[in-house]
Amino acid sequence: MTTPNPTPIDPRALGKVAVLLGGFSAEREVSLMSGQGVLAALRRSGVDAHAFDLAGHELSELKRAGFARAFIALHGRFGEDGTVQGALELMGIPYTGPGVLASSLSMDKLMSKRLWRAEGLPTPNWRQVRSAAQTEAALAALGAPMIVKPAREGSTIGLSKISHTSECAAAYALAARCDPEVLCEQYIAGDEVTVALLGQGEAVQALPLIRIVVPGGNYDYEHKYFSDETQYLVPSGLPAAEEAAIQQLAVQAYQSLDCRGWSRVDVMIDAATRRPYLLELNSSPGMTGHSLVPMAAQAVGLSYEALCLQLLASASLDNPLPAAAALTAAQSAAP
């Protein structure tokens, strides 16, 4: 596989760049780590990059400060769910990653699963629940073990794996504390892999699969970001034909949500049938020292710095305002 986008990028042509990090979500700690890594990488590449923590600044300051682009290193709600993307659209500041609708759909696991199922793409069976009693009914319908998780959170926050009716109330309460929309999902036992994707439309490129091996099979928040026990295998060790089929499935999932720029798709492979199932799409993946997109990029010869620069160069808008309309709007808004 060739290195994605080998075309040279002039850092000076990218203008003044805001690296959006921190924010208000439950994933703030990870976002700070991602953002600081991206910020340092862009500066090493010669980009005029500045940290911008939404928890300490009004987003409108971006326009007044003359930022030309935004690198979104926010994770979770109020950063990865279309809200920040919509604000940047209104300000006319191009940003990295998928647009407003794509970000919103991918953050909402219920909506993304419904769309994938409508497109004929495999995803585990599920039930939307609003009480402990409905969680018990979901366990009876989906079978044990079962995953209970918030519909609009990431990084396994609020997630439980349960096998008995006695566990339903606590699992539902934990998930509901994070989000009133709770998802019960069929558990798929087997290999867990993730696929990083770069680009847009027909030019989307799937990077090599990473197979995740965790002691005890519990890939939780600690094992994702802080543990040195988790193994990330790239090459994945899967048969070439199986890997290629999963890459194609991830591309279809990405395109069905109309994503652009970059994302990461998480997949479970049923141990008995070897059938892959789509779990979720992360529209603003982690960029920490334990993160998977930089690892996959490195496998095709794309360094962390080059990846950050490429992603920044791909920053765009869903609906760029024509120059004449922008001028008219600015004139009408003037005192």
Q: Which residues carry out catalysis?
A: 27, 155, 225, 264, 266, 280, 282, 286
Q: Which amino acid is located at 206 in the chain?
A: A
**Cis preceding linkage at 122, omega within 30:** no
CB-based contact 198:310 (threshold 8 Å): yes
DSSP 8-state secondary structure symbol assigned to residue 127: E
Contact predicate 89/58, CB 8 Å: no
Distance of CA 235 to the CA centre of its chain: 22
Contact assessment for residue 81 and residue 103, using Cβ atoms and an 8 Å cutoff: yes
| E-state strands within the chain | 16-21, 48-53, 69-72, 126-129, 146-150, 160-162, 182-186, 190-198, 205-206, 210-213, 231-233, 262-270, 276-282
203: CB partners within 8 A, 6+ apart: none
Distance CA 261, CA 49 (A): 19
* Contact partners, residue 198, CB within 8 Å, separation at least 6: 4, 5, 204, 205, 207, 261, 262, 310, 311
Provide the Cα torsion 139, 264, 76, 61; round to 10°: -160
Rg of the Cα trace of the chain? 20
Output phi, psi for 215, to 5 deg.
Answer: -55, 125
Hey, what's the torsion of the CAs at 74, 288, 279, 146, to 10 degrees?
-100
